[in-house]
Amino acid sequence: MARYIFITGGVVSSLGKGLASAALGALLQARGYSVRLRKLDPYLNVDPGTMSPFEHGEVFVTDDGAETDLDLGHYERFTGVAARNTDSVSSGRIYSNVLDKERRGDYLGKTIQVIPHVTNEIKDFLAVDGDEVDFMLCEIGGTVGDIEGLPFFEAIRQFGQDRERGQCIFMHLTLLPFIKASGELKTKPTQHSVKELRSIGIAPDVLVCRSEHPIPKKEREKLALFCNVRPDAVIAANDLRSIYEAPLAYHQEGLDQAVLDAFGISPAPKPKLDKWDDVVDRIHNAEGEVKVAIVGKYTQLEDAYKSIAEALTHGGIANRVKVSAEWIDAEKFETGNDIAPLLDGYNAILVPGGFGERGTQGKINAARFARTRKIPYLGICLGMQMAVIEASRNILGLEDAGSEEFDYERGHNNYTHVIYHLKEWVEGNRTIKRAVTDNKGGTMRLGAYNATLKPDSQVAKIYGTTDISERHRHRYEVDIEYRDKLEKCGLVFSGLSPDGRLPEIVEIPDHPWYIGVQFHPELKSKPFEPHPLFADFVRAAVDQSRLV
């Protein structure tokens, strides 16, 4: 039976609970334990799938098709454990389940209340697969005191009471602000946060304190005294140059030992941190630098493309170079002016996914620039669509080629040649069909799908196989009817669905590196196991930098 670690936050949000959870999971793995990480979000959306990237950052997709919080990406990148649909839940999903049960009559006519019905639903979620691993780490979104988070805090309090003594511990992450005028770290906000937590029946066993400055011994002792934790369970979380230093930094601070002590596990296996030493060494001792332009529509918020940013870092780790990624608003390329001044000097261009027509002409122009200037290009999801439409317009000569997605937004019949359509696909034993009038939430082609690569293609050489599985998140597919015409013009369909109906990858063989993929390879990349496409994309960027 798993031991449970509940990670809560206080004082302010965005302190790094997800990163701390992921790093702790990696440290427990390094000691030989199996782990699983979960996220409980208090917002009322059923999942983040329909939320704007400006609201919630990127949507991380699991193999089984769940649209989840970006913290699950951290969990996977640090532990290598593939997340599942059962590893992410929101208030919206919890309340939806409860109301569905009420409508079916499962509660036998009883009055439905937050306690016990909502809290029981949360506890049932926590208990799923609890016998599979040694440790289950559960992060609670938001901060203690948030009104929408109260059912989750009450549920984890009850869960800790229901389990045998010593099966659950609580880790609380807070902020120690530094007052520059007095030159002091202030502990009072943390004291009040812990007081708030204890008022709802939860006493933290481990206190992780985020700070821009080292925590003096005097302040550690004060925190231990007033927050009722052991002095060696007050853990400093200082700013780092790279997030991949976190496992080593937390280990040096004694986080993993404090957690094991809280469970009474002694003696504990010694950790094996060689792979993290290697990752950090490759980051801090890079032997070169490449510049990659990311031409997107949500560039004001880097979290909108979090997994892409990290996958590029992983590609740099694989090639022992620093990847300097610069975010460029695609709408800057739509004016009709020469875009060369904006893109000259970059060693590679990446066009990521997105929805809607805004910024698409700029992405098409970026794809054309990369194609004609022989600059390495990686198009992901919508970035592949832009590459196909660009080739259709400028190589094949179909000047009004477009997508059904944009056609629908404009009111239909705007494009003579609609290259992208809503298509049906096979999922297990079912054929899935979609219409533009469908609900938006959870209606895309989501999760892992297989693809067959063309032998001797560039992507087959990169992957080292002709059979792959990658994660998807999109509605529109390339019309296979245009395949022959485009291939005669040099755009090869080098990856298809196993039934040959859905194009998955396109490439230009006589280009140094020009690949578009319908899926999201960034979702499976890890620092100690970079995704092959990103590793080779950065390699191509290194080669390009040597030509300049």
The residues pairing with 329 across neighbouring beta strands, listed in sequence order, are 296
- Among 472, 511, 520, 531, the one annotated catalytic: 520
511 is catalytic: no
The residues pairing with 432 across neighbouring beta strands, listed in sequence order, are 425
Coil/strand/helix, residue 24:
helix
Q: Half-sphere exposure (CA, 13 Å, Cβ side) for 256?
A: 27
Q: What's 229's DSSP letter?
A: -
Q: What's 526's DSSP letter?
A: B
Question: Which of 497, 505, 518, 501 has its CA nearest to residue 457?
Answer: 505
Count of CB atoms within 10 A of residue 400's CB?
11
Which pair of structure tokens corresponds to residue 380?
């992901």
- Among 209, 381, 474, 511, the one annotated catalytic: 381
Please give the Cα distance from 172 to 481 (Å, whole number).
Answer: 56
Question: Which of 185, 192, 119 has its CA nearest to residue 153?
Answer: 119
405 is catalytic: no
Question: Which of 284, 279, 274, 342 has its CA nearest to residue 525?
Answer: 279
What is the per-residue DSSP string for 358-407? TTHHHHHHHHHHHHHTT--EEEETHHHHHHHHHHHHHTS--TTEEEHHHH
- Among 74, 168, 522, 531, the one annotated catalytic: 522
172 is catalytic: no
Which pair of structure tokens corresponds to residue 204?
């933290």
Please give the Cα distance from 405 to 150 (Å, whole number).
Answer: 41
The residues pairing with 208 across neighbouring beta strands, listed in sequence order, are 173, 235
Catalytic residues: 381, 520, 522
